[in-house]
Chains A and B, each alone.
Chain A
Amino acid sequence: RKEVEQDPGPFNVPEGATVAFNCTYSNSASQSFFWYRQDCRKEPKLLMSVYSSGNEDGRFTAQLNRASQYISLLIRDSKLSDSATYLCVVNMGGNKLVFGAGTILRVKS
C-alpha cells in the first residue's frame, strides 16, 4: 500500500464548479499535512496546511480526519487558473515529506 494515496483524476470541471479531492495516508504517526499545487513542469508550491479542526483560505477548504487517516480539499467557484495537479503531502516526522501522486484538475470555460 502506498504511504499517501490520491485519485489521479483527471477531474474535468466547468468554471464555477465545486470540486473535492480526497487523500488517504497509511502511517498513523504522521504529524502534519499539506496540500501543494504543482503546475506543469514547475516545482510544487504550498497551497495550505491541513488541521484537524478544518481550515479555509478563500475558495479553498481543507479537512483532516485522523481517525480515518483521510484528508480532503474542497475548491469552490473553480477558476481556469486553478487547473493544476494537487498534491497531498504528509510529514512523517523529521521534516520528511511524502507526496501523493497528485490529482489533476482541469477547469474549462
Chain B
Amino acid sequence: GAVVSQHPSRVICKSGTSVKIECRSLDFQATTMFWYRQFPKQSLMLMATSNEGSKATYEQGVEKDKFLINHASLTLSTLTVTSAHPEDSSFYICSAGGGEGETQYFGPGTRLLVL
C-alpha cells in the first residue's frame, strides 16, 4: 500500500508553545488529507479535511484558529497546534487518499504531550 509519513513522531512541549506536525504522502499525490485526533481509550475523531490549494474544512467543535492547517502541495499537509495546552495532549494522525472512494492510508501518528 501507499506510504504516509508524519513528523515528528513525538512531541513534549510547555503550555503556550505552538507545535507543527507534518504529514507527507511519499509515493502518491494526495489531493485530500485528513487530520484526526485520538484521546486515550477513545476512537479517532476527524478534526478537519485538508484540500490542496484551498482552505481546510473543519469539523464541528474544532477551532480553526487553534488548529491551523496548510496543504500547500499534493504531498504535504501541516497541522499547527497554536498555544498548546495540556488538554491538547493527544495522538494526532493524518491520512491521505487519492480521491473519492479510494482507500485512505494513515500516517504513523504524532503523540503530543503538553506540560
Binding site for B on A (CB under 8 A): 31-32, 41-46, 87, 91, 94-102
Residues of B within 8 A of A (CB): 1, 32, 34, 36, 42-46, 49, 91, 93, 95, 97, 99-104, 106-109, 111
Residues of B within 8 A of A102 (CB): 43
Q: A45 to B32, alpha carbons, bound, how many Å?
A: 18
Is the beta-carbon distance between B97 and A101 smaller than 8 angstroms? no
Contacts of A87 in B (CB 8 A): 43-44
- CB < 8 Å: which of B44, B91, B108, B109 contacts A99? B44
Q: Which of B101, B102, B106, B111 contacts A44 (CB 8 A)?
A: B106
Expressed in whole angstroms, the minimum distance between the Cβ of A88 and any Cβ of chain B is 10
Closest to B107 in A: A43
Q: How far is the CA of A100 from the CA of B106 in the complex (A)?
A: 16
Instruction: Give, as a whole number of angstroms, the nearest-CB distance from B25 to chain A.
Output: 14
By the criterion CB–CB under 8 Å, are A42 and B49 in contact?
Answer: no
A63 to B52, CA, bound (A): 35
Assembly CA distance A85 to B106 (angstroms): 16
B77–chain A nearest beta-carbon distance, Å:
14
- Indicate if the CB atoms of B44 and A44 lie closer than 8 Å: yes
**A98 x B108 contact (CB < 8 A):** no
A87 to B36, CA, bound (A): 14
Q: Could you tell me if B49 and A32 are in contact, using CB atoms closer than 8 angstroms?
A: no
